[in-house]
A and B are shown apart, each in its own frame.
Chain A
Amino acid sequence: MLGFSGVGKTLLLAGLFSRFRFGGPSGITMYTDDASERELERLIGRIQDTEDEYLPEATPLGDPRTWSFGIRVDVAHGRRADAFTVNYLDYAGEYAAALAGADGEMSDAFLAALRDTDILMGVLDGGDVRDVLLGDARPQTLVKVERLLRLLVRTDQRCVHLVISKWDALVDRDGRQLGLDEVVSRLEQASANFRDFRLNPRFSTLRIFPVSTFGRGFAKQAADGRMVKQPGARWNPLNVDFPLYCAIPDILAGDVAAMSANRSGRENHTTLTKERLAQVTVAVFELAGVLLKASGHGLLVAVPMSAILDRVRDALPRWFNRTGSPRFEGNAALARVLEHCYAKTAAFDGQWYVHPAAARGQGE
């Protein structure tokens, strides 16, 4: 999550972990080491306690912290298996701001960590966006929004999306919740640079996630800027899981696109090595029966690259319906998560905002 101070990165972390604590029908859960679990549980407990005024402080300067989560799938009869690991980078937003041109110290550790991420989600502050849309913003606010977009343009990640945090704050003067299409359209009117960013061909499947870690009605902003929890309100984070669900198919799509771009001559040949591909992608290839064979000229793929993603999707039901393997192990867990990710991604693309518009409703 790439965002400046105050956009809600730490809260998003808490909301994301909270969303995947209990599994639900899919059985997908997140787990971490005991110390991190204790910290996050304490954080979540204090956030949702409306009798406690506590909300997380700004993350102070210091080396970024990587929270490591295992994604595990629970199935019937007490069986479970690990699918993959997700690392969430938490850091002081000042480092991102300094990178974008604001005063402040740079951090080599932050730069290095950022460089190693597979997916970047630029986080726009919903409060800032609202101010821009309603004409209440200081000139510096739009500068801040555009600086974040510029940062995303400068990066080299294959998958880049936008998150608009504090979505519950995106209301007009009458208190009407704005729709995502409306927000995007009005942002484009207010900022030609936002429009240029969105139309940049590099962001061919840009998703804009409307996210509210507090959810609706849980907290209100006081006159001094403080968020005040409403007595008795229930903490119900909104859409915090979509960025994760959409990230996994994006990693696959990005890797296949990279392989296609690097292929040397033949349709199913690439100069990329397995080591250069994300671990999840390599595992999914096996899951779908796509053989990666090392040759003297790079990787030889058993099926044409253009068909790989279709093959992966087709393979998932076969995987679950196959007989003779009562074990529930890593690939089965990965298949389960992937199936869920495809379904959620399709739901998101149909309901929310993905660029270009033609991609809507078609899933990944």
Chain B
Amino acid sequence: MTEKAWPFLIGRGRDAGYRAVVVPEFMAEAASTNALTAATGPVDGPLPSGAACVRELHGLDVGPISVVYRSFSPHGGDYGLDDEGELSDGFGRRIRVTEGLVVRRSAARGAPLEICVADLERVHAEVAGAYRDFWELDQAYVRRTAGAIALGDHRSAAVRLVATEPWRRERERQPGTGSLRPFYAGADREAPPRRSTVRRISLATAAAAVVAGIVFAAVLLTRAPHTGPVPPRPRPAATACGPASCVSQNSDVTMDRCRAPGPDAGCGVGSARREGR
């Protein structure tokens, strides 16, 4: 059976910051596209030639998906731009573009995911026109969506897929994420109530009752005249520290790039569609 995949591209312009320039049409809803940009960040260590990263994304409304992607620092010629030199942003920094495709299943389950070099070249051809427009329109560019393409052009070599750990949305998206509602819950205020099952609430209530009893007893004791030795000072909660491993292995420092698609990759006008506002 021919497998379908949806192309995407993440990049930045001279002034317009990094964003999803082309997204799969089934992911066009913002809650899914920000997962795409979050999960295709820099990878740890160099990718061998002819390889691409593969990563599963879980916890999305659209169900489990897998993304195959590679990042590189493009030249204008890769996208048919007049300036064929290496692209850089308004601060003179080299730009990184991530191109890839999305399949609507877990890469680890079912049939092995088979991606060929020609598939990635086709992805490039599909999104190149959109990136060219983004480069020229910059802030005025409107994100486009891409329809499915069929995988399995086995005339070319298979791409070596380097798996990275699955990405999972940490919590369900709150309505109106644009607001700072969770942001306002500062250290001095009560944290917003978490979702809890009836069982958890019951357990918490029972625990609270026990703690309240203990505290009440402690209050009674502390109100009594103190005749014993001076109590020891409370130990600080934690003052010493040790080297801690980083939360994420992501780093823009160590990341090497995949090789840019060659000029023969095809930079035809992309079939990505403009997304209505």
Contact = CB atoms under 8 A, between A and B. Distances in A.
Interface in B14-58: 16-20, 30, 33-34, 37-42
B224 interface: no
A5 B17 contact: yes
Contact of A33 (B169, B216, B245): B245
B30 to A, nearest CB: 7
Contacts of A103: 16, 19, 139
Nearest to B251: A39
A262 B17 CA distance: 42
B239 A280 contact: yes
A84 B215 CA distance: 31
B96 interface: yes
A99 to B, nearest CB: 8
Interface string B234-275: 111111111111111011111000000000000000000000
Interface in A201-221: 221
B157 to A, nearest CB: 27
A184 to B, nearest CB: 25
A93 B90 CA distance: 14
A84 B239 contact: yes
Contacts of B91: 6, 58, 225-227
B10 interface: yes
A43 B18 contact: no
A34 B242 CA distance: 12
B236 A156 contact: no
A331 B170 contact: no
A5 B18 contact: yes
B182 A60 contact: no
B38 A62 contact: yes
Contacts of A70: 241-244
B19 A94 contact: yes
Contacts of B39: 62
A57 B94 contact: yes
B183 A115 contact: yes
B70 interface: no
Interface stretch (A21-29, A287-295, A346-354): A287-295
A222 B92 contact: yes
Contacts of A156: 183-186, 188-189
Nearest to A286: B236
A294 B178 CA distance: 39
Interface residues of A, number: 88
A96 to B, nearest CB: 10
B236 A283 contact: yes
Contact of B246 (A10, A68, A104, A157): A68
B89 A6 contact: yes
Contacts of B89: 6, 58, 225
Interface residues of B, number: 69
A267 interface: no
Contact of B188 (A108, A112, A262, A275): A262
B37 A158 contact: no
Contacts of B242: 70, 82
Nearest to B247: A66
Given A67-B246, A115-B182, A60 B33 contact: no
A192 interface: no
B196 interface: no
Contacts of A5: 12, 17-18
A274 to B, nearest CB: 6
Interface string B92-125: 1111101000000000000000000000000000
B17 A60 contact: no
B250 A43 contact: no
> Counting chain B CB atoms within 10 Å of each CB, which of A40, A62, A286 scores highest?
A62
A225 B14 CA distance: 10
A360 to B, nearest CB: 28
B38 A93 contact: no
Interface string A39-80: 110110000000000011111111111111011000000000
Given A43-B253, A291-B234, A334-B239, A61 B18 contact: yes
Contact of B38 (A109, A158, A275): A109
15 contacts: A10-B252, A58-B95, A58-B96, A60-B18, A64-B248, A65-B248, A67-B246, A82-B239, A103-B16, A105-B37, A107-B34, A108-B177, A226-B91, A258-B188, A291-B233
Given A157-B187, A286-B234, 17 more contacts: A5-B17, A32-B244, A39-B251, A60-B96, A60-B98, A62-B248, A65-B248, A70-B243, A92-B18, A106-B177, A115-B183, A156-B186, A156-B188, A222-B92, A224-B88, A280-B239, A296-B218
Query: 7 closest A-B pairs (Cβ-Cβ)?
Result: A62-B41, A226-B92, A156-B186, A296-B219, A85-B241, A94-B17, A283-B236
Interface of B: 10, 12, 16-20, 30, 33-34, 37-42, 71, 88-96, 98, 139, 169-171, 173, 177-178, 180, 182-189, 215-216, 218-219, 222, 233-248, 250-254
Interface of A: 4-6, 10, 31-36, 39-40, 42-43, 55-68, 70-71, 81-85, 92-94, 97, 99, 102-109, 111-112, 114-115, 118, 154-158, 221-222, 224-227, 258, 261-262, 272, 274-276, 278-280, 282-283, 285-286, 291-297, 330-331, 334
